[in-house]
Each structure stands twice: as C-alpha cells, then as structure tokens.
Structure 1
Amino acid sequence: MSLRRRIAAVAAGVLAAPLVTVVLPSAPAFAHGYISSPASRQAQCARNLVPCGDIKWEPQSVEGPKGLRSCNGGVARFAELNDNNKGWRVASTGRTVTFNWTFTARHATANYEYYVNGQRVGNFSGNNQQPPATVSHTVTLPSSGRQTVLAIWNISDTANAFYSCVDVNAG
C-alpha cells in the first residue's frame, strides 16, 4: 500500500469515528440519583453549602449494596456523609415532608424507602419501571424535632441501591 493510500485510510478512519459513535447504540446507562429537595447532604455539598470532598462533584453517585442504613451507602470516599457533626443545613418542615428525587440516569425501580432512626416511615413502589427525571414522595415523620431521614432508591435489576440523607427539623 502506498503512503498516499495509508494517509487516506487513516484520514477516513478519523473522520468516520465520530459518526460511528453517534450512529451505534450505546450501552445502557447506570442509574444515578439523589434527593435534591429538601437538600440532601450530597445536594448541600454540590451547592457548596457545606465543604465536602469528592461527593461535591457527583452527588448522584452514592450507590451501594441494598440493605445498608448509612448515608454514604458504604462508599468509603463519601464517608463524610455519615458525619452528623459536619454542619449540615437543617430544613424546617412540618411532620409531613415531600422529598424530591433528581435522576441523572434512570433505571428500573423496585421501590423507594424512607427511614428515621432505623424505623421505616415510607415505602413507595417503583413498579419495576424506569422513573421520570424527577420523582416526589410525601412522607409523614414519626415525631417532631430534628431528625435525619435516610432515603433509599432500590434498583430492580441490580443488587444495588442509591442512598441519600436529609436533615430536617419537623415542626
């Protein structure tokens, strides 16, 4: 093959690569999501309301095995989400609170669970369907006063869930 043909072949490959990327189907997206309001701990990090590490850049990525009861979903690099003394902003709410999830990539959902002090206070089916870009649930908290709500988004076709903690002062 002559040098001219080699250069032409390389140039054709370089020009075709972006088209192939657009035309070929992509791999399925991984699920990612968090509670955006009232502002979860990771939402506060993303908004620079509280100084944080890596979670600031990816509030939607607190993913861990189903069944955990921690704000960081067992992810060591997000351990600061478990620190109750970090200065989290506390949302003033009534005893009935609407939690709004934001999804950056959606995945079929088994259910959403809400816990206060280890007690489940809300459970909403996802009907094994892909959720819309945002989802809201209204939960009645068991008591008044300051509390941390652990919200869990259980994915239906993986062994993982997404975790989000929200600090509230229920009046």
Structure 2
Amino acid sequence: MSSTFRMPGKKGLVLAAAAGLGLPLAVAAPALSHGYTTSPPSRSSLCNTGQVQNCGAVQWDPQSIEGPKGFPQAGPADGKICAAGDSRWAPLDDPRGGQWPAARLNSGQSFTFTWKLTAAHATTSFRYFITRNGWNPAQPLTRAALEPQPFLTQNYDGRQPPSNASHPGRLPAKQGRHLILAVWDIADTGNAFYLCSDVTFG
C-alpha cells in the first residue's frame, strides 16, 4: 500500500431450479463492498449510533453510501455528494443549518482516519478532500466548496483493505468548521463510496 500524503437460501434454490429447467436468468451482480468512516465519524456513522436523529434508512445501513466513481470530474451531482447521489440517503445531504455534530481536530496535526468495512473489495484508493476557507456549512456540499485536490490519498493498486482500515496522514492547516469528504474508489466496479464528516479545527 502506498500513500501520497452456506447454505443456499430460497433465492439460490429458485435460481438453481430455473437453471435446471434451462430458463433464461437475469441476475444483477451484488454490491460486494461496503463501509464507512468511524474517525472522524461520518454523518452515516452518527446516524447509525443514534447521535443524530431523523436520518431515514441510513440509520440501519450506514455502510451503503455508494454511487458512481470518477470524482470530482464525475460522480454524484453537486448538492447530493454526501448521499452519493442516492435518494435513499438524502438526509445526509441536508446541512441541518450547519449544526451536524463536529469532531474536534487540531490544524496540521498527524491524524489516522479509520473505516469499518463490512465487506471489503479490490480497491483503487481512499482519498480525502476538505472544504475551502469561507465555505458555507449551511449549504449542501458542492465541488466548488471543496479544495480541488485531496489532502491525503492511500493507494491500494487493486488490493483488498482490511475490515478495519486505517490511513495515517497530516491534516491541512485550517481553522473553524469544515467538512471532510472521504472517497473510497473500488477497483473492479464502476462505483465509489462517499462519506462526509463534519469537523472543527481548534
């Protein structure tokens, strides 16, 4: 890793029976990778632990914030980045007046980002972006609100990360309230995971 900074269920039995009868099958490939940031805690993590209420379905599914990869040139539309462009997770895009609980960090300090991966997968990289000075925390996240380059990248070159992935690095020099966007790029699908974490630099 390099760094720049059982038994078949009913569905399986039905498919097997259909195959035995020579019937055509159309089976969607399952999403095999899921995960979310735990330090600093992502919005989906805060919903899962009950620290934030009225989150909708993400409360029970914090690891599934998945959308098209290619960020920032492609990927979720502006204003829908924290939900990865998926309407099921729309409460994550709501800035709540800039009042999401924010983890306290120190400007420029060494810091280790951690993830809980419920299903790991071949990985291209994990990238970490941060908002620009003067961004508006009361507005949904847009590309224009972010610094154009990630301040930390962990390259995996197609390898699979551990279930408790950690990425040490150095935080940028910032003051006040900011948002960190973590992007987990999957190597062998067209998707990535998008996790927004609210932070405050002392």
TM over 0.5: yes
Q: Comparing both structures, which one devotes a greater share of its residues to helix?
A: 1
Retained in 2: the 8 A contact 1:149–1:167? yes
Give the alignment partner of residue 92 of structure 2, picking from 43, 56, 81: 81
- 1:59 paired with 2:71, answer no
Unaligned runs of 5+ in 1: 1-18
Match of 2:34 in 1: 32
- Which structure has the larger Rg? 1
Instruction: Normalising by structure 2, report the TM-score.
Output: 0.68
Query: Unmatched 5+ residue regions in structure 2?
Result: 1-5, 13-28, 132-145
For residues 45-56 of structure 1, what are the structure 2 equivalents within 5 Å?
Answer: 45-51=47-53, 52-56=55-59
**Contact 1:109-1:127 within 8 A present in 2 as well:** yes
Alignment counterpart, residue 43 of structure 1, candidates 39, 42, 45: 45
SS in 1 for 2:91: helix
Deviations 1:28-60 (A, max 9, x none): 861001101221100000001111100000000
Within-5 A mapping of 1:81-160: 81-85=92-96, 87-95=99-107, 96=109, 97-117=111-131, 118-119=146-147, 120-137=150-167, 138-160=169-191
Structure 1 distance, partners of 2:171, 2:42, is 17
Q: Structure 1 139/152 Cα, relative in aligned 2: closer, same or farther at 3 Å?
A: farther
Q: Which residue of 2 aligns with 1:21?
A: 8
Aligned residue pairs total 150
Higher strand share: 1
Inter-partner Cα distance in structure 1 for 2:174 and 2:7: 56
Q: In structure 2, do the counterparts of structure 1 residues 143 and 133 end up closer, same or farther at CA, with 3 Å as the change threshold?
A: same
Q: Contact between 1:121 and 1:142, CA under 8 Å: does it hold in 2?
A: no
Runs of 4 or more off by more than 6 Å in structure 1? none
The CA RMSD over aligned residues, in Å, is 2.1
